[in-house]
Structure 1
Amino acid sequence: MIKSLERVFSEFVIFLGAARLRALFLLIAGTGLVSLMLNAVQGETWVVPVQSALMLIAAFGSAAIIVTRMEREDRQRWIALLVPALGLIVLGVFFLPNWALALVGAAIGWIVAGLIVFRGRAPIEYQKAIRHLRHNEYEEAVKVMDGMIKDEPNQPNHYRFRAELLRLWGKLDRARRDYQKMTEIDPTSAVAFNGLAEVNLQAGRFTDALAAAHKAAELAPGEWVALYNLGMIEDRLSQSQNAIEHLTQALSAGVRDARHRLLIRFYLVRAYARLGDTANAQAELITLRKDKSGISEWTTILASDQAETLRAVIGQDVELATQLISGELDVMALGAAS
């Protein structure tokens, strides 16, 4: 149970990102602290209404921080759930205090019921596609998503999932079209531009990949995935100083798994080596060796039948990182060879 809660919390932290997590903490801590300080005020009738207002500010602000992080269709669903629920809470706190407890219960009940009512058929269809994928039946998996997109042509997540299937199948042109369609449906979607950057990177279209990655990082500032992809593309283009800047920002945003930290450190080593900065290259190599468990993670992932396109993108990087860690490859030789 505790491990499950820890996993949920970790996923929530990664979902929000460093900037939004910090804003959420400051909002809750700030309103809570002011509310506690008001407890010291005696005999003033305005204290309770102000504390109630602070509670609502914390509730509405927290909801806004979380909901605005979601993709458009998820955001619309949660707005439809939360607005009536928060309205009931406001009604209970400010206008019908004697009914406050009942109204809060009704708000919670609305959210629970809404989660059931608004749940679509997508999970079932996605599961069908995944079952085909497990048997390497790419064409059948894509056909499942074709049907969903025909019925719901304005749902960007359907295009996203089909694009991921197409990438595994090696159909990069079709995957790129799906990510492009996502950007047309929701031009504010960092996920869409990030996917577009990745598929262009896989196809060796580095200039297009760089433009999409910049847009993703602009739409999701402080998100490590966007910064990581941007830094990787800049590594491919030998834009070493830019790569150092964005990869360092990615690490600061918090990269939970060792395999991605390993590649980030590897790209940093290579960037410093290309710049002839031996001291920083050696310092990054020391840190790279601390994340060497990422090698075994990548080895397992890349051994999969479904990792062909991924092997083409990072297989050599993982091999070079392995040689650096073992001492078979000299740091500065890495810069000279690339």
Structure 2
Amino acid sequence: MDKNQQAIELMKEQKYEEAAKLFNDIIEENPQDPVGYINFGNLLLHINDPERARRFYERAIELDQKAATAYYGLGNLYYEESDFPKAQKNFLTAINIGLKEADAYYLLGMTFFHQEEYKLALPYLLRAVELSPEDTEYLFQYALSLAQSEHIDDAKPVFQKVLELDDNHSDAHYNLGVISLYEENLSNALDHFNQALEIQPEHVLAANAKKQIKEVWKNTGM
């Protein structure tokens, strides 16, 4: 196991000081290698020191403008700061350079989602789902973006796929309930809202939707 791998393992074990010392040794031994700076940046970001992390990522890019994971690290940094335009720029650069991992596409899609540009989010979230089809978070956010883009018929089977993988996903039940309301199937909607509340009793949106259905039935004598 080389030093980089040893330091990464120490990070996983939450031995951050030991990992930092090892990353520092790696940089001193190979000051022109961007990998050490990227890994140290990842450690700093993980322990909530974004300003120092930024400097390490930027140094890695100075050494190698094709260091895709350095741009990805900066993307994560800006994403956590809710600076979505800057996060978007860095994720896109990382992907264009050659980082084809599902998480990069997912986070790029989410930068558009958080700016309510749902249609622009769709191709990136779809690619994340294609690369990691069993990831319920990718599937859920893709379905949500479809729904927000008014592609209700396309969103429905994706929400259902989420429940196939995780039948305790309260938000998938809630959104399927909303789609059932759109389809004017109040009984099915109520069933989904009840399941959402069974999983997550404090689900406010599901509780409000259930209350509204009950009011409709009461007022119509159903």
TM normalised by structure 2 equals: 0.70
**Cα distance, 1:287 vs structure 2:** 1.4
Distance 1:126 1:271, change over 3 A: same
What is the aligned-residue RMSD (CA, Å)? 3.1
Shift of 1:141: 4.3
Which one of the candidate residues 106, 124, 128 is aligned to 2:40?
124
CA contact under 8 A between 1:145 and 1:158: conserved in structure 2? yes
Distance 2:118 2:58 in 1: 29
What is the rounded CA distance, in whole Å, between the counterparts of 2:98 and 2:207 in structure 1?
40
Distance 1:161 1:140, change over 3 A: same
* Alpha-carbon distance change, 329 to 161 in structure 1, aligned in 2, over 3 angstroms: farther
Secondary structure of 2:62's aligned partner: helix
Greater RCO (Cα-Cα under 8 Å, separation 6 or more): 1
- Choose the corresponding residue for 2:154, options 220, 239, 242: 242
How many residues end up aligned between the 2 structures? 189
Deviations 1:254-283 (A, max 9, x none): 47xx6xx22222111111111212232122
Would the alpha carbon gap of residues 332 and 230 (structure 1) be closer, same or farther in structure 2, given more than 3 Å must change? farther
CA positional deviation for 1:233: 0.5
Within 2, Cα distance between the matches of 1:265 and 1:240? 15
CA contact (8 A) 1:240 1:272 kept: no
Task: Give the deviation of 1:177 after TM superposition.
Answer: 0.8
In structure 2, which of residues 109, 125, 133 is the aligned counterpart of residue 213 of structure 1?
A: 125
Matched, 1:228 2:140: yes
Pair 1:279 & 2:191 matched: no
Q: Distance in 2 between matches of 1:185 and 1:328?
A: 51
After superposition, where does 1:1-338 map in structure 2 within 5 Å? 112=1, 115-116=5-6, 121=36, 122-133=38-49, 138-186=50-98, 188-254=100-166, 261-292=169-200, 295=202, 319-324=204-209, 327-330=210-213
Return 5+ residue gaps in structure 1 as ranges: 1-111, 296-317, 334-338
Structure 1 residue 207, shift from structure 2 partner: 1.3
SS in 2 for 1:175: helix
Larger Rg: 1
Q: Partner amino acid for 2:118?
A: F
* 1:271-307 alpha-carbon deviations (Å, 9 max, x no partner): 11112122321221121112216x5xxxxxxxxxxxx
Q: CA offsets, 1:47-104, max 9 Å, x none?
A: xxxxxxxxxxxxxxxxxxxxxxxxxxxxxxxxxxxxxxxxxxxxxxxxxxxxxxxxxx
Question: In structure 2, how many angstroms separate the alpha carbons of the residues matched to 1:232 and 1:166?
Answer: 23
* In structure 2, distance between residues paired with 1:237 and 1:332: 29
Where does structure 2 lack aligned partners over 5 or more consecutive residues? 10-34, 217-222
Q: Distance in 2 between the 1:143 and 1:231 partners?
A: 37
Contact 1:214 1:230 in 2 (8 A): yes
1:139 and 1:187 map into 2 onto residues whose CA distance is 24
Gap change, CA 1:323 and 1:161, over 3 Å in 2: farther
- Note closer, same or farther for the CA distance 1:142–1:283 as it changes in structure 2 (3 Å cut): same
Offset of residue 166 of structure 1? 0.9
- Aligned letter for 1:262? S
Contact map agreement 2:41 2:53 (CA 8 A) in 1: no
Describe the shift of the 1:253–1:150 C-alpha distance in structure 2 as closer, same or farther (beyond 3 A).
farther
Tell me, in whole angstroms, the C-alpha distance in 2 between the residues paired with 1:283 and 1:174. 42
Aligned amino acid, residue 244 of structure 1: K
In 1, the alpha carbon distance for the partners of 2:207 and 2:66 equals 44
Percent identity, aligned pairs only? 13
CA distance in 2, matches of 1:144, 1:132: 14
TM-score, length basis structure 1: 0.48
